[in-house]
Structure 1
Amino acid sequence: MPRSLPPLNALRAFEAAGRHESFSGAAEELNVNHSAISRHVRGLEDRLGAQLFRDLPRGVALTQAGARYLAAITPALDRIAEATEVFHQRPAGQVTVDAEPLFTMKWLVPRLGDFYTRFPDVELRLQANSELADLSRYEADVALRFFHAGPANQAAPLLSDAPLYPFAAPKLVPTPLPPEELLKLPLLRDRREDTWRHWAKLAGCPPPAAAASDWRMRARLAYESALAGHGVILASSELAQTDLAEGRLVQCSDIGFRMGSYHLVLAEGVLRRSAVRLFRDWLLDQSAALRSGKQ
């Protein structure tokens, strides 16, 4: 028995308009004009005998029937796209990556050579920001961010839950020190939370002297200060890997603790693009050791 299928162009127009809740946004994505989207959607509504959008003073919104239909057909269109892309020998495209500056410089950038070698036709556009980009407004495709309790209501695979340890330059801590001696050194603060007080409690030591104010350095500045030998920093261990291996930092204690995790935040619908899926899979592979506790 033949399938009862609407025209593919009508489905693509509806699906894009439903995701954006905008005919103009769908037209821009599909590189057609606004009237083409409207014509396809109205034709699909006539075929289904249902209203999929309701008009608003500025734009459109999905009806309940439209929302149900969108939820049903989006995975099907994604599967068709993925099956088709198997025949493309060299994946290509652009991926805009928004990441915290320190994580970008210390963990991501040193590994990008492997990505460029494996996927030369995929262009990564890196932007380092302290604040999370608005992915709903397409400021970026994906974002790499640290969360204390994990992101809420977002597609965000875990990258790393590596713990915080104290690190310092060898010229400041040339030999291992007991915790009570370590706490007498200048303690660099790059977080609003009193992480040093928590570390001292875990080490069985009296808390360090309270800071005169809640002032703190930016994470990058605090880390560079530690490299320069100006103090001890509590940093997530994945950030220090390269500097530890090259002798610029030493880990001052085996006492560490977790206070959050890095996640890959994905814009809605972005995984329908093969370039984004390649970057996600590559990133999860690169960070696998950070989730298993191996450093």
Structure 2
Amino acid sequence: MKNALPPLGWLRTFEAAARHLSFTGAARDLNMTQSAVSQQIKSLESHLGRPLFHRRPRALVLTESGITYLPVVREAFHTLVRGTRAITGTQQNVVRVQSNITFAVNWLAPRLPRFYAQHPEVRLSLSTELWEPREMAEGADIEIRYSLRPSDTVRTEILRGDHYYPVCAPGYPVTLDTLADHPLYDCSNLLANWASWAEDQDLPWPDPPITYSTTYLVSLSVAMTGGGMCLVHDAIALRLLKTGQLIAPFAHRARMPEAYYLLLSPQADNSPHITAFADWIRAEMALDPGGGPDWPTTG
């Protein structure tokens, strides 16, 4: 089947000729001969099966097809330019940051104005994943990872441990005695879970049904709407507790087996912008209540 798209070079030549309404002007822009421009335009018109220009003695005039096609071609080139810049990171001051989505939404995003106030010259490109990659995320300069222990193949440091505990909407009618009778929500595949929270305080646990999701955002949303109880830890819940969107009805808090880690790419030491963001994350974590980098990271 014949390819419906003409060669990119022909389209670039068409755009230049249409902009100048002159093959000579297009040739000058593209560092081509006038005859080469003319030949490419003829090839493009043959490919499309219709003329794009009226050839007048002293000028070119776009045909109706040319007038229709020109904005399409220009927008296609603009899209290519924007996409290429996004992929190649042509801005030298962009720091590519990877984290899980709940941390990005509940901890990082509310603090970004403070970062930009201190470092207006730096821009961040934020990427979120539900599941951590085996090694450091591809293309990331910095990763904030919530894990038992990250890979030893990259430069890693612990940022904070934390406590975990149940939360619910204000006024939600629950006691320790009735807890197992309520809808319970949690993030899947974590050691900081309902059973371990109960075991940590010798609370009898009848193994009630629990709804799991791949992100804390789901269980947090259910809890805030009064739909049940969910487990959280300080890094993702303190802002919601301070604003009164959630309450922690029970006093007991257990230490997380998991912790937050900072992973740095090999180029981190050669970039003042990556260093600036890493230093800012460390400082913000040190100011944040509830955790600390000196906590144990297992059991």
Bin for the TM-score computed over the shorter chain: 0.5 to 0.7
CA shift in 2, pair 1:112/1:216, >3 Å: closer
2:232 matches 1:208? no
Mapped partners of 1:247, 1:279: distance in 2: 30
User: What fraction of aligned residue pairs are identical, expressed as a percent?
Assistant: 23
Pairing partner for 2:221 from 215, 220, 224: 224
CA shift in 2, pair 1:147/1:255, >3 Å: same
CA shift, 1:179, in A, is: 2.5
Mapped partners of 2:240, 2:140: distance in 1: 29
What do the CA deviations read for 1:10-42 (whole angstroms, capped 9, x no partner)?
xxxxxxxxxxxxxxxxxxxxxxxxxxxxxxxxx
Mapped partners of 1:140, 1:150: distance in 2: 15
Pairing partner for 2:242 from 216, 240, 245: 245
Amino acid in structure 1 at the alignment position of 2:259: S
Gaps of 5+ in 1: 1-91
Mapped partners of 1:137, 1:183: distance in 2: 38
CA shift, 1:138, in A, is: 4.7
What do the CA deviations read for 1:92-119 (whole angstroms, capped 9, x no partner)?
7110001100000000000000111111
Mapped partners of 1:187, 1:206: distance in 2: 16
- The TM-score normalised by the length of structure 2 is 0.60
Max Rg structure: 2
Amino acid in structure 2 at the alignment position of 1:169: A
2:126 alignment counterpart: 126
CA shift, 1:151, in A, is: 4.1
Mapped partners of 1:112, 1:183: distance in 2: 38
Report if the CA contact (8 A) 1:144-1:263 is conserved.
yes
Amino acid in structure 1 at the alignment position of 2:274: V
- The TM-score normalised by the length of structure 1 is 0.61
CA shift, 1:289, in A, is: 3.8
Amino acid in structure 2 at the alignment position of 1:207: W
Mapped partners of 1:217, 1:137: distance in 2: 18
Report if the CA contact (8 A) 2:169-2:225 is conserved.
yes
Report if the CA contact (8 A) 2:94-2:124 is conserved.
yes
Pairing partner for 1:187 from 184, 189, 213: 184
CA shift, 1:189, in A, is: 2.0
CA shift in 2, pair 1:137/1:200, >3 Å: closer
SS in 1 for 2:187: coil
2:115 alignment counterpart: 115
1:145 alignment counterpart: 145
CA shift in 2, pair 1:289/1:115, >3 Å: closer
CA shift, 1:269, in A, is: 2.8
CA shift, 1:208, in A, is: 3.3
2:274 matches 1:265? no
Amino acid in structure 2 at the alignment position of 1:100: N
Amino acid in structure 1 at the alignment position of 2:286: A
Amino acid in structure 2 at the alignment position of 1:157: E
Please show how residues 1-295 of structure 1 align to structure 2 within 5 Å.
Answer: 93-132=93-132, 138-173=138-173, 178-193=175-190, 195-211=193-209, 216=213, 218-257=215-254, 258-290=256-288, 293=291
Amino acid in structure 2 at the alignment position of 1:97: V
Mapped partners of 1:293, 1:139: distance in 2: 29
2:57 alignment counterpart: none
Report if the CA contact (8 A) 2:268-2:274 is conserved.
yes
CA shift, 1:207, in A, is: 1.2
Report if the CA contact (8 A) 2:180-2:208 is conserved.
no
Tell me the matched-pair count.
199
RMSD of aligned C-alpha atoms? 2.6
CA shift in 2, pair 1:216/1:193, >3 Å: same
Report if the CA contact (8 A) 1:167-1:232 is conserved.
yes
CA shift in 2, pair 1:117/1:262, >3 Å: same
Amino acid in structure 2 at the alignment position of 1:224: S
Mapped partners of 2:235, 2:158: distance in 1: 14
1:69 alignment counterpart: none
CA shift, 1:211, in A, is: 3.3
CA shift, 1:129, in A, is: 1.4
